[in-house]
Amino acid sequence: MAGRRSLALLAVSLALLQVASAARSWLTEFTTDGTVRTGYDASGQKVMMLNLDRSSGPAGFNSKEQFLYGEFSIEMKLIPGNSAGTVSCFYLSSGTDDWRDEIDMEFMGNSSGQPVVLNTNVWANGDGKKEHQFDLWFDPSADYHTYTIIWNPENILFKVDNVFIRSFKRYADLPYPSSKPMTLHATLWDGSYWATEKGKVPIDWSNAPFVVSYRSFYANACVSGGACHAGRDGWMHRQLDAAEWGTVRWAERNYMRYNYCQDGWRFSQGLPAECSRN
């Protein structure tokens, strides 16, 4: 009996050591802002939870390393119920100046029963407004789903689970993120002024705190000032094949809410040059 108790205590001690080690490992990769909590899901995977309420302000975590090209993915479980006005993000950015590069996946909160809108966008040398928006075809708050950005010298690819939904191509004569190292960010903030129905539906703070959970972060990328990680050939020249272009067309046909290349009112002087080449 004593031997079994000793083995059980040893197992518990090892489990606690693994938990502490995992938490330390996460903190060595990222800095945090606002209210960020760590925990574990039912399968024992590490989870980072971003919390937003009226007094806490925005929350997020940011990679300590900067990257120049790579494949980045994370699993997210979004806010259940009425999340109108909130914005949950997974994105890369070179900074906050007027000449920044940025690659965005932004999830705009919904009124209960309405679809969550995924906004994808690309900024290059301060040139943005390249949004494609999609209604998600599942409930992103019911379980974790995987969101992926592949960024290489030829194109930027956006993927939801195993479905490619967008390719942003590079053209030699047009701006493209190619020279500025970018930091990876995950954030949760109050976007009432624009997020839900173009700002018509603000946050209902009686539903706070709002919580977004992240797990299974993955980066296979070139680190600024260092070498590219092993396996880069899988993404460095990655482009869509015919079947993958088929999933893009499927998403555009069935779930696209907004395409900047169809917004003649916004671009009254003419659509961006890449719109006539895609």
Known catalytic residues?
102, 106
Residue 29 to residue 40: CA distance in whole angstroms:
18
Residue 273 to residue 234: CA distance in whole angstroms:
30
> For the range 117-126, what are the long-range contacts, defined as Cβ-Cβ under 8 Å and sequence gap of 24 or more?
117/257, 118/160, 118/165, 120/158, 120/165, 120/166, 122/156, 122/168, 122/177, 123/177, 124/174, 124/175, 124/176, 124/177, 124/178, 125/99, 125/101, 125/175, 126/97, 126/98, 126/99, 126/100
Residue 190 to residue 30: CA distance in whole angstroms:
22
Name 183's bridge partners: 66, 93
Residues 50/211, Cβ–Cβ less than 8 Å: yes
Tell me how far CA of residue 241 lies from CA of 126, 157, 274, 278, in angstroms: 30, 12, 20, 15
Residue 120 to residue 19: CA distance in whole angstroms:
34
Residue 27 to residue 21: CA distance in whole angstroms:
10
- The radius of gyration of the chain from alpha carbons, rounded to an integer in Å, stands at 20
